[in-house]
Amino acid sequence: MTDTDRMVAWLRETMDSAERDAEAATPGPWAPEGALGADVVTSALLGRVADCSVGTDYRPQSIPDAAHIARHDPAAVLRRIAADRKQHDEHIPVPDHGRFSHSYGEKCPALCEGECRDNPKVCLTCRDSSGDPIEAPCRSLEFLVEAWGWTEEEQR
Ligand SMILES: [Zn+2]
Ligand SMILES: [Zn+2]
């Protein structure tokens, strides 16, 4: 498994795990509300989800924390994961079959004699100005894994 393959496997596992968390969480929409300021997050369906006030003392961060949690409710997270999966699907590394790499995707065509294995994988869709595939990971895939928290340490 190459570093790029490991990176893509990590991204898929991380998105799957975030999706499971979001599906298991209380359905939304979530909104901040509360008697002493909007420091409690409630679900329109099921009531209180999180109380960002801690004890009875005034806590300056409680309102921004509640706003932040509500903005990242399960529906919002699932929407972003669905969009990121589309981005992932467009920029997966595939065997290098030159300009036909997009047509063959992750599978080798019957006529492939293994020459693709002598080259690094390429992006499914990214091409240079002469139409040749770009070595994977392309910048779009790098930005995506960066957004999900991929670091060099994850490679080990
Ligand atoms: Zn790409
Ligand atoms: Zn091949």
CA of 94 to the centre of ligand 2 (A): 9
131 CA to middle of ligand 2, Å? 19
Alpha carbons 149 and 26: distance in angstroms, whole number:
24
Given this model, what pLDDT does residue 58 score?
77
What's the order of all strands across the beta sheet hosting 122-127?
Answer: 93-94, 122-127, 133-135
Taking the alpha carbons at both ends of the chain, their separation in whole angstroms is 12
**Burial (CB count <10 Å: 0-12, 13-18, 19+), residue 110:** exposed
Compute, in angstroms, the gap from residue 95 CA to the centroid of ligand 2: 6
What's the gap in Å between 9 CA and the centre of ligand 1? 16
Q: Which listed ligand is nearest to 94 at the C-alpha?
A: 2
Q: What is the mean pLDDT of the chain?
A: 92
Q: How confident is the model at residue 155 (pLDDT cuts 50, 70, 90)?
A: low
* Predicted structure pTM score: 0.88
What confidence score (pLDDT) does residue 35 get?
Answer: 62
Q: What percent of the chain has pLDDT over 70?
A: 96
Q: Exposure of 90 by Cβ count < 10 A (0-12 exposed, 13-18 middle, 19+ buried)? A: middle
Q: Which two tokens stand for residue 22?
A: 């979001």
Question: Ligand 1 (ion): which residues have CB within 5 A?
Answer: 91, 123, 126, 138, 140
Which residues on adjacent β-strands are paired with residue 50? 41
Ligand nearest to the CA of 97: 2
Q: Among 126, 106, 127, which Cα is nearest to 12's?
A: 106
Question: Which residues sit with Cβ closer than 5 angstroms to ligand 2, an ion?
Answer: 95, 108, 112, 116
Q: Residue 136: nearest ligand to its CA? A: 1
Given a cut of 80, whether residue 27 has pLDDT beyond it is yes
Indicate the DSSP class of residue 143.
H
Mean pLDDT of 114-137: 94
> CA quadruple 57, 60, 63, 67: dihedral positive or negative?
negative
Interval 71-89: pLDDT, tens:
999 999 999 999 999 999 9
| Banded model confidence at residue 22, pLDDT cuts 50, 70, 90 | very high
**What pLDDT is stored for residue 72 in this prediction?**
96
pLDDT in tens, 87-104: 999 999 999 999 999 999
Interval between CA 111 and ligand 2 midpoint (Å) = 8
Ligand whose nearest atom lies closest to the CA of 87 = 1
Helix axes 139-147, 3-24, angle to 10 degrees: 40
Residue 136 confidence (pLDDT) above 70 = yes
Going by C-alpha positions, the residue among 45, 64, 43, 44 that lies closest to residue 53 is: 64
